[in-house]
Structure 1
Amino acid sequence: MTDAELSADGFESETVGSHLESTVRDTLERRDAGAFVHVGTRDDASIRYCRSALEGGSTVDRAAAGPTFAIAFDGDEWLVDSSRDAATHPAKALATRLAERLESGTILTPARVPHDAALYLEQAGFDLASTDVLERARARKTDAERDRIADAQAAASAGIRRAASLLASAVIDDGRLLADGKPVTPSRLRTTVDEAIVSAGSFPAGNTVVNPDPGHTPSTPDTEHEPLRAGEPIVLETAPRGPDGYHAGLARTLVVDGDGGSERRAHVGATQSFRSAAAMLTADTESVTAVEADLEAEVRAFGFGEGDDVRTRAFGVGLEPCERPLEGGETVEPGSVVRLESAVRVGDGAWLRIADLLVKAEDGERATYLEAPSRSLEPSAVLED
């Protein structure tokens, strides 16, 4: 497929490299700068993103060591120096090469560029100015990136379904859940989810939690080995990382032998909030704050007043499980993949929580959720999907 062709969902097909180069080139021209530079280790998601543009789209570095990379783009050509093959600090080597090409002028860097790297560039005669061009480029996903996120989401779905299967087979013993004669605990469910994620070809990356608190931390050591109980909501949240480094984001709430009550009403409100958010992002480009407010308004419309605890979130996913668009005023632009969540407290310490990934399409195109399990509270219904 060429860059001029269109994918099935209406996006112009482009590589990470062509997208990044176009975004950086426009920024250099607009700000009258000579080059963009970033310096960091392979653990830096932005460094991995730049390297993927240079290495055919893969963000995986199979080298045993974790070197430092200094990367520059001058609008025409990429320059790269690494601590694996440089006799000096890679930022110093890169600064010398840039000075030979540009002599002087303004260099754009992320605000978080290491201090020593900034000094090397300044000593080479350059003025530095900060830019968020990498974050802006990463916020809009290419076809290949969306495919990688979808693959990771499929692995997350496999994990949720495996946990639902365990819960569907559970029996109730004095209110406690047992499966295969053993208690169903948060620790056991987390292991079940993670094993299915690995079998599906992704990595749990330490992001699977059962019954997270409002701060999304796992069950405490005091409770993770306690048997889960019938009639109580069980929240499963996971954000695995695929083999190419891209993350998913999924949360479901399941109840074994539930009797309705507040969690049923909260479930209806949360489910409707996802329909409303998809319609909102189909109609227009909205800020993170506006999307979160829309999710909350839909939940509260089902009888949850201002005194009730309702929490909503919207943020991008990609090479990190939480990335731009992130702050309230940032907009969900076409091409973004965002994680939407609605959460409602339904009892003392108990929450109903649902999260899915939505792709914001080009203007006029329908925003769509990535394929995921049913949002039903019934474990058996999740298996039927």
Structure 2
Amino acid sequence: MTDGADYGGGVRSGRTILKERLRSVLDSREAVAFVHAGPTRDPDLAYCLNADGELEKSAVADAETRSAAVAFDGEQWDRETGDSPSHPGHRLADSLADRFTAGTVLTPAGIPHDAALFLENRGFSLASTDAIARARATKTPAERERIASAQEAASAGMKRAAAVLADAAVEDGRLLVDGATVTVDRLRREIDEAIVAAGGFPAGNTSIDGGSADGEDRHSGGSGSVQAGESVVIRAGEPIVVSVAPRGPERYHGGLSRTFVVAGEGGRERRAHVAVTQALRSSRALLTADSASVTAVEADLEAEIRAFGEDGAVETRVSGVGLEPRERPSAGEETVDVGSVVRLDAAAQLADGAWVRVADLLAKTEEGVNYLAAPSRSLEPRNVLE
């Protein structure tokens, strides 16, 4: 896997970058070490364990059920895993005590209570830091490759959704494939199977917003997904929002949302769709010009949607993506800087309560600002397959 970069022209490994950031925090806080412990599915701990991607994919998968503890004292990393009877946090505390008689140890605020007690019992005082979460806000090229891989799986799932809808026949307002009604559950299964076939894991993040209970008028379409069931059918002429955020083999996520309409009449949803897609183009231009805060990008998305005459409810959200589907930068004045990979979501509500929503991933690097490869944003499912 390609090494990380310093975003200033030089090439350094992800672990070197992490060491430098932690060393700076330790010096400024006069602390003897940084420590984290817990289940290795914890994103911050996983980041410390695998900053360079040196773990084999099988080891990453096994790590879902393991525990570990890590420490960095400004010069070296210590790692303890749950492979022996004693607690890894206990062994790590003993190791640190062999080098330091006392001092402040920096930890994430959510470190498990037992790990904190092991450190305190060896004479260390604890202070919290968000240094790892802040470090994760910028991605090395190796991390971008992992996100891009997960995005390929997301695209495969979205294309499968488009293929099912494109092949559907319309009968009494329902969509039928091979004579069977297309339901929310059926479409979700098709999407998830395509994600798995592409090497990803759906991770419970596939949602479908739209449809109606069998025999009833459409009743949903809000910003949350419909309660899935075999009786929740997908109907012609109604916007269906499909969202996916699969996890790749190395635990990094992708993210997409698309709105589809089968046998639609155009008009209202098409105007909203133009507004939403143009909003994403505008935000790319904004970030190409300079860094911008999450608040500023979200405001730009909404302003662009409003500029197209949308006066109903509007939803916009900007957040980083990586070891979590949404992570820093994700709020307020946190900025989308060089090295960020962010998910941009934009949605406009139609008069009948349905929504038109689009979301894509955008990477900001020294070379420019570009969306990661993704299917067409067209409302027409067949166009997504071309």
The TM-score normalised by the length of structure 1 is: 0.91
8 Å Cα contact 2:4/2:142 also seen in 1: no
8 Å Cα contact 1:282/1:361 also seen in 2: no
Task: State the alpha-carbon separation in 2 of the partners of residues 12 and 138 from structure 1.
Answer: 19
Task: State the alpha-carbon separation in 1 of the partners of residues 5 and 227 from structure 2.
Answer: 51
8 Å Cα contact 1:334/1:360 also seen in 2: yes
Task: State the alpha-carbon separation in 1 of the partners of residues 244 and 112 from structure 2.
Answer: 32
Query: Are 1:328 and 2:335 an aligned pair?
Result: no
The range that moved more, 246-255 or 40-49, is 40-49
Query: Are 1:342 and 2:346 an aligned pair?
Result: yes
* Deviation digits for residues 317-367 of structure 1 (CA, Å, limit 9, x no counterpart): 1111111112222111211111100011114331111000001223xx421
Q: Name the counterpart of 2:67.
A: 68
RMSD, aligned α-carbons: 2.3
Q: Name the counterpart of 2:191.
A: 193
Q: Name the counterpart of 1:275.
A: 281
In structure 2, the residue corresponding to 1:206 is in which secondary structure? coil
Q: Name the counterpart of 1:20.
A: 18
Q: Name the counterpart of 2:380.
A: 378
8 Å Cα contact 1:156/1:240 also seen in 2: yes
Go from structure 1 to structure 2 and tell me whether the alpha carbon gap of 1:347 and 1:11 turns closer, same or farther (over 3 Å shift).
Answer: farther
Q: Alignment partner for residue 103 of structure 2, among 98, 105, 113?
A: 105
Unaligned runs of 5+ in 1: none
8 Å Cα contact 2:5/2:14 also seen in 1: no
**Residues matched between the structures, number:** 376
The range that moved more, 166-175 or 205-214, is 205-214
* Deviation digits for residues 91-145 of structure 1 (CA, Å, limit 9, x no counterpart): 2221121122122222111111122222221222222211111101111111111
8 Å Cα contact 1:15/1:57 also seen in 2: no
Go from structure 1 to structure 2 and tell me whether the alpha carbon gap of 1:62 and 1:260 turns closer, same or farther (over 3 Å shift).
Answer: closer
8 Å Cα contact 2:40/2:64 also seen in 1: no
The TM-score normalised by the length of structure 2 is: 0.91
Q: How does 1:227-306 map to 2 (within 5 A)?
A: 227-305=233-311
Q: Name the counterpart of 2:83.
A: 84
Task: State the alpha-carbon separation in 2 of the partners of residues 124 and 2 from structure 1.
Answer: 40
Go from structure 1 to structure 2 and tell me whether the alpha carbon gap of 1:336 and 1:215 turns closer, same or farther (over 3 Å shift).
Answer: farther
The range that moved more, 87-96 or 264-273, is 87-96
Letter matched to residue 118 of structure 1: A
Task: State the alpha-carbon separation in 2 of the partners of residues 2 and 156 from structure 1.
Answer: 22
8 Å Cα contact 1:11/1:143 also seen in 2: no
Q: Alignment partner for residue 50 of structure 1, among 30, 48, 51?
A: 48
Question: Alpha-carbon deviation of 1:58?
Answer: 4.9
In structure 1, the residue corresponding to 2:233 is in which secondary structure? coil
8 Å Cα contact 1:376/1:382 also seen in 2: yes
Task: State the alpha-carbon separation in 2 of the partners of residues 200 and 354 from structure 1.
Answer: 22
Percent same amino acid at aligned positions? Answer: 55
8 Å Cα contact 1:208/1:236 also seen in 2: yes
Q: Alignment partner for residue 95 of structure 1, among 87, 93, 96?
A: 93
Q: Alignment partner for residue 357 of structure 2, among 353, 356, 374?
A: 353
